Structure 1
Amino acid sequence: MLETKPMRSGLSEEEIYLFNNGSSYHSYRFMGAHLAQEGGVTGVRFAVWAPNAMEARVIGSFNRWDGEAHRMKRIGTTGVYELFVPGLGEGSLYKYELITPDGAAVRKADPFAFLSERRPGTASVVTDLSGYDWGDADWLRTKSKTSPYQHPLHIYEVHPASWKIKGKELFYTYDELADELVPYAAEMGFTHIELMPLAEHPLDQSWGYQVTGFYSPTSRHGDPKGLMRFIDRCHRHGIGVILDWVPGHFCKDDHGLRLFDGTPLYEGNDPNRAELPLWGTLAFDFSRREVVSFLISNAIYWLDVFHIDGLRVDAVANMLNLHMDKPPHMHTYNEFGGRDNLDALRFLKKLNETVFRYYPDTLMLAEDSSAWPAVTSPTYQGGLGFNFKWNMGWMNDSLRYMALHPDDRRHHHQLITFSLCYAFSENYVLPLSHDEVVHGKRSLLNKMPGSYEEKFDQLRLFYGYWMTHPGKKLLFMGGEWGQFDEWKDSDMLDWMVLDYDSHRMMRDYVKALNHVYLDLPSLWERDRDPECFQWIDVHNAAQSVISFIRRGQSSFSVIILNFSRNDYRDYRIGVPEPGEYRIVLHSGDIRFGGKETRASASYKSDNMKWHGLGQSISIHLPPYAFLLLALQGDTH
């Protein structure tokens, strides 16, 4: 963990060697600005990597932004400059003034800054991260003994700047989010909160995915210790925290990493590789060893200093594919003539190996839309080394299916069943993320066809399918009550719709569904094991009905889903054991906005073979119904 005493002045040869060699995984401990002592005098020691700069100076509020008196010393041929400035303390604004090879002066924010001036300001801020008194020892101890594979994982994805706000650009502080968001997520039955990127970024509309301050928690919500308090509060409520992390690219703002010392440094020399035209950003040069040190140290920094429980690594497919989202004239090839970015491949493997070496209980989730094999297999088995991957195929197929007119679904039955052909090839998370409710895609509720009432019926049905399908879960904020409008990143969620019964009851349903998920080991205990899933009937395209069994170590659940608008009064399905089957949850329960008053009914099995099983039950299956049943007496 971070030291609590002032750091000594001067960088060691070993530290710089490891940084230059791509093997420094704690670079934040000596690069950037640190409180230090030299000759008994307290001040700040600065260190910056700018190998092609002719000269480097520290400028700031303490010298009226004139660095003439604060020229930095170049350390041999390492490309690192350092300077100790006596008398400085926390809160000092600063930048580096670098003289480029052509004699121009550029002013850059510190790539290792722990805090940045609130936008539109662009200066870095001297900050001491030591001294926070963490109270999450019990959480860390429990986490170290708990496998994420055999336990529930249900993630609430949150954009902190729009979950709630107090007015235009009046964002909730980290402490206010701790007071409201944390108990809300715990009450709703989520196991983790995933925060969209918190690294400092100049443009609100980038949602944090175009970064200038990779080590700097955004000052929109307060200071770094406020973020520590938020995470600590999460852990004390039994909630893990995942951070969206963006190692693939960075934005072009002048104070950022672009042409940092007057030359392509972080982005590499070939503009066809560096430029990402779809996003207007620059890709990191993963062949540069100092860049590897910078990025892997950044991942370790969030885990070490802030006790983050996991990183959702953004845009893995774009990192791996040299051609993705680029016109043909920008295509480049690796040394073997292929389109795979071999440097990015090596980086991702090294990243995961390093993270798990230091923090073996971390969640490393790949946001990957490609068909790259073995993403969640260990690197020693030829995999990329992540432990979870977003299942983008399931998401695309299932949402496309749900958007169909109910009468057309029977012609596209494979969209709702095909995912089981590959559901056990990786450790999957089933994401219903922010990407699916913006840019004209409509909200989840508004993707559903039919009348206003039918939209709610079908969204409850879809959530039942999502929750009982093999794989861990992720839901974007607002989805829990059926946000009707698309996500508006500049305004807060439409909390006022909870004044309406339909939305309030939808939230009640999602809360009940979440807690059923947490309580039923059959829904998460064996997610990667093909034996955890058994089709009862996969072929009933004519009626748009599917049914299956989910099995845990010692229990099972029976799931029936009717994706049609037809009412089936005596629908018979096979069941694996004799006995009485109780309805654990019914999406059509009147409590949740449906019409069923007998949503807690039970069904005694008949000694009649059906669907290849020795027993069967006859049930009432209303339109757009999801039913989850368990054998009576099963305490699980």
Structure 2
Amino acid sequence: MSNVLPHSLFTDFDIDLFKAGKHFRLYEKLGAHLIEKDGVKGTYFAVWAPSAKAVSVIGDFNHWLEGDHPLNVRWDESGIWEGFIPGVDQGSLYKYKIHSHNNDIKTEKADPYALYCEHPPNTASVVWKLDHNWEDTGWMGGRKDKNGLDKPFSVYEVHLGSWKRKNGNEFLSYLDLADDLVAYIKETGFTHVEFMPAMEYPYDPSWGYQLTGYFAPTSRFGKPEDFMVLVDKLHQNEIGVIMDWVPSHFPEDAHGLGFFDGSNLYEHPDKRKGYHPDWKSLIFNYGRNEVKSFLISNALFWLDKYHVDGLRVDAVASMLYLDYSREEGEWEPNKYGGRENLEAIDFLKELNEEVYKNFEGVQTIAEESTSFPMVSKPTYIGGLGFGMKWMMGWMHDTLTYFKKEPVYRKYHQNDITFSMTYAFTENFMLPLSHDEVVYGKHSILGRMPGDEWQRFANLRTLYTYMFTHPGAKLLFMGAEFGQSEEWNFQQSLDWHLLEYDYHKGMKTLITDLNKLYRNHPALYEKQFSAEGFQWIDYSDSENSVLSYIRKGNRSEDDLIVVCNLTPIVRDNYRVGLPAGGKLVQRFNSDYKKYGGSGVSNKKEIPIAEKEWQHRSFSAEIRIPPLAVVVFQIL
């Protein structure tokens, strides 16, 4: 006699939606759910395994032996196996033992919908019920007014395992981070934090980008509720939460999604579409309805159950193109003869439609490195529907430019100005991310030329240029205080550097840049619109000087930005201005408190009615060496 009682959480409508690829709350049905049936407490299990001929639940409650708890396959050809096991309680470890029709292969798989997983390298799923008393009503109720495209968006990118460690080299827990990390982000003034993948992953060197537990926060740092505490505390401190999300590929680990029921269930069966040669991982079958339901359900899960404010979607370019990282003959054109992956494109559009339809005030952000059109435009006009896109071209050109000795920069003025020719084709986020500080690329500080003073001055200039350039901002942890070495995921950031004045000054600079960004609407109200930017002069390559206006909704909020990209002080430098009055300095990256030389301007500079740079008014200013100065007209 079976120890499994018949039970189902599925209605016929649920099954119809699942088969049609339209069920986007699958986490409420599939997986392990603690319930009470006829007065008996236990757990309902449900798993999708259409190619299986038998599925059993094995776990610490039956000595990991199959046969005691066989699940029943549904009659409706959905491929779902389900049943209720009395007495299985919170914290029980389990897996699915799957017998396949395919050559009688037997596999032991973790639950794709598990809410909690064992601490790696152990691989079992854990029966769990999410239970947290949220205290972020204020944030969630007003989120649309804080998380919009016309609001400051300054993101601190964090790898949870290496931001800071304790007791030698132990991880901080989610609860530790809820104290230390939240206080630090609040102090430095970032508006958002972005977590590199916090879902369960088996292999530390993957940094979390090869997932096996899509619905479970990694147990490395604590329980699921502990992660909720971290998100809750961030929200209570007015900090938005973005999570990296990886629908582009998954690893081949034996307990994971690969070859799940003895067939290519989650991955595309054609290796040309289902295997990623660079990452040696499997690619989802975006054309399979049930897989699409799995992925979109997973995206909505984090927004629903964990109150997350945005998803940064990893490796979108690899999804969009059939020939991504493939040689001729290793890919097959689509039905129109093109290289676009039409099924992945349709999936991304539907993903974004569902996210924005179901959750007010959230954002999706594409990490997309090609010139694929309209990534951050609405689907109803033919776009992919993302809220923002990483501006990889800006990142590459800017770092290439700043790496050059200032004496040569006059020959490369176009490198630093080119971004403005396409800055408003998408809603761009400017990323100086983890990818730029690994694999021999050096830290951002390590790229800067010159002696110690010049390296820090260059970095201050780069950051101030970044914060006054149109678009949202993203800095990887450690960049805000001038981390000297490349990022190492196996250890803490070099916090001892803050004992030194230049590094301390860099952190102060970033804190003040975040204040500048938050406090001046001209820097964010029209950050994705050509109306929010106007060149004063981009052609002074001889002096390597740039000048431009940032504009908000009101002209009185406009800011004048002047960048000196050489270590030569520019005295009596005349700048064309849009109006008369007085020029007041609002920011100067050369202040001594940042480690600068202290070259500055008078509190108020009279504006003359003298035509200059095709403008009716102008003023003479002093531009400090390797610095950016920001003014306002009063």
TM-score computed with the length of structure 1 as normaliser: 0.96
Whether 1:490 aligns to 2:484 is: no
Counterpart residue number, 1:4: none
Counterpart residue number, 1:116: 117
| Separation (CA, whole Å) in 1 of partners of 2:546 and 2:415 | 12
What amino acid sits opposite 2:605 in the alignment? Y
Whether 1:71 aligns to 2:70 is: yes
Is the CA contact (8 Å cut-off) linking 1:393 and 1:419 kept in structure 2? yes
**Seq. identity, %:** 44
Structure-2 change in CA distance of 1:73 and 1:8 (3 Å): closer
Counterpart residue number, 2:259: 259
Is the CA contact (8 Å cut-off) linking 1:273 and 1:330 kept in structure 2? no
- Superposed CA offset, 1:197-239 (max 9, x none): 0110001111110001101110011011001111110110000
Counterpart residue number, 1:3: none
| Separation (CA, whole Å) in 2 of partners of 1:479 and 1:306 | 28
Give the deviation of 1:308 after TM superposition. Answer: 0.3
Structure 2 unmatched runs, 5+: 1-5
Counterpart residue number, 1:50: 49
**Counterpart of 2:52 in 1: which secondary structure?**
coil
Residue pairs, 1:353-502, within 5 angstroms = 353-502=353-502
Give the deviation of 1:9 after TM superposition. Answer: 4.5
Structure 1 unmatched runs, 5+: 1-6
Counterpart residue number, 1:303: 303
Residue pairs, 1:126-145, within 5 angstroms = 126-129=127-130, 131-145=131-145
- Indicate the larger mover: 366-375 or 617-626: 617-626
- Superposed CA offset, 1:168-189 (max 9, x none): 6621111110101112111211
| Separation (CA, whole Å) in 1 of partners of 2:188 and 2:195 | 17
Counterpart residue number, 1:18: 17
**Counterpart of 1:431 in 2: which secondary structure?**
strand
Counterpart residue number, 2:562: 560
- Superposed CA offset, 1:331-378 (max 9, x none): 222111211000000000000111111103211101111111111111
Give the deviation of 1:624 after TM superposition. Answer: 0.7
Number of paired residues?
625
- Superposed CA offset, 1:283-304 (max 9, x none): 1000111100000000010000
- Superposed CA offset, 1:32-87 (max 9, x none): 00001222211001000011011101000000100211111000211110021100
What amino acid sits opposite 2:482 in the alignment? G
Counterpart residue number, 1:589: 591
| Separation (CA, whole Å) in 2 of partners of 1:200 and 1:540 | 51
Is the CA contact (8 Å cut-off) linking 1:574 and 1:616 kept in structure 2? yes
Is the CA contact (8 Å cut-off) linking 2:169 and 2:492 kept in structure 1? no
Counterpart residue number, 1:519: 519
**Counterpart of 2:14 in 1: which secondary structure?**
helix
**Counterpart of 2:67 in 1: which secondary structure?**
helix
Counterpart residue number, 2:342: 342
TM-score computed with the length of structure 2 as normaliser: 0.97
Is the CA contact (8 Å cut-off) linking 2:533 and 2:551 kept in structure 1? yes
What amino acid sits opposite 2:595 in the alignment? G
Counterpart residue number, 1:610: 612
What amino acid sits opposite 2:34 in the alignment? L
Give the deviation of 1:613 after TM superposition. Answer: 1.2
- Indicate the larger mover: 14-23 or 215-224: 14-23
Counterpart residue number, 1:231: 231
Residue pairs, 1:30-179, within 5 angstroms = 30-76=29-75, 77-101=77-101, 102-129=103-130, 131-146=131-146, 148-167=148-167, 170-179=170-179
**Counterpart of 1:25 in 2: which secondary structure?**
coil
Task: Detail structure 1 runs of 4+ shifted over 6 Å in the superposition.
Answer: none
Is the CA contact (8 Å cut-off) linking 1:559 and 1:626 kept in structure 2? yes
Is the CA contact (8 Å cut-off) linking 2:600 and 2:624 kept in structure 1? no
What amino acid sits opposite 2:492 in the alignment? M
**Counterpart of 1:33 in 2: which secondary structure?**
strand
Give the deviation of 1:427 after TM superposition. Answer: 1.0
- Indicate the larger mover: 435-444 or 525-534: 525-534
What amino acid sits opposite 1:81 in the alignment? W
Give the deviation of 1:496 after TM superposition. Answer: 0.4
- Superposed CA offset, 1:526-575 (max 9, x none): 11221211111111111111000111111110000011222222211111
| Separation (CA, whole Å) in 2 of partners of 1:599 and 1:53 | 75
Give the deviation of 1:164 after TM superposition. Answer: 0.6
| Separation (CA, whole Å) in 2 of partners of 1:396 and 1:291 | 35
Give the deviation of 1:604 after TM superposition. Answer: 1.4
| Separation (CA, whole Å) in 2 of partners of 1:27 and 1:277 | 30
Counterpart residue number, 2:629: 627
- Superposed CA offset, 1:259-282 (max 9, x none): 001111111211121110101111
- Superposed CA offset, 1:418-465 (max 9, x none): 111111111111111111111111111111111111110000011111
- Indicate the larger mover: 591-600 or 346-355: 591-600
| Separation (CA, whole Å) in 1 of partners of 2:631 and 2:9 | 66
**Counterpart of 2:473 in 1: which secondary structure?**
strand
Residue pairs, 1:213-292, within 5 angstroms = 213-292=213-292
Residue pairs, 1:320-335, within 5 angstroms = 320-335=320-335
**Counterpart of 1:226 in 2: which secondary structure?**
helix
Is the CA contact (8 Å cut-off) linking 2:601 and 2:622 kept in structure 1? no
Give the deviation of 1:27 after TM superposition. Answer: 0.1
Residue pairs, 1:189-200, within 5 angstroms = 189-200=189-200
Structure-2 change in CA distance of 1:288 and 1:46 (3 Å): same
What amino acid sits opposite 1:344 in the alignment? A
| Separation (CA, whole Å) in 2 of partners of 1:431 and 1:259 | 36
Counterpart residue number, 2:3: none
| Separation (CA, whole Å) in 2 of partners of 1:168 and 1:269 | 46
Give the deviation of 1:328 after TM superposition. Answer: 2.5
What amino acid sits opposite 1:143 in the alignment? R
Give the deviation of 1:146 after TM superposition. Answer: 4.8
Is the CA contact (8 Å cut-off) linking 1:589 and 1:599 kept in structure 2? no
| Separation (CA, whole Å) in 1 of partners of 2:595 and 2:348 | 46
Counterpart residue number, 2:27: 28
| Separation (CA, whole Å) in 1 of partners of 2:264 and 2:165 | 39
**Counterpart of 1:326 in 2: which secondary structure?**
coil
- Indicate the larger mover: 329-338 or 517-526: 329-338
| Separation (CA, whole Å) in 1 of partners of 2:597 and 2:35 | 68
| Separation (CA, whole Å) in 1 of partners of 2:607 and 2:601 | 18
Aligned Cα root-mean-square deviation (Å): 1.4
Is the CA contact (8 Å cut-off) linking 2:116 and 2:127 kept in structure 1? yes
Give the deviation of 1:103 after TM superposition. Answer: 1.0
Structure-2 change in CA distance of 1:10 and 1:560 (3 Å): closer
Give the deviation of 1:622 after TM superposition. Answer: 2.6
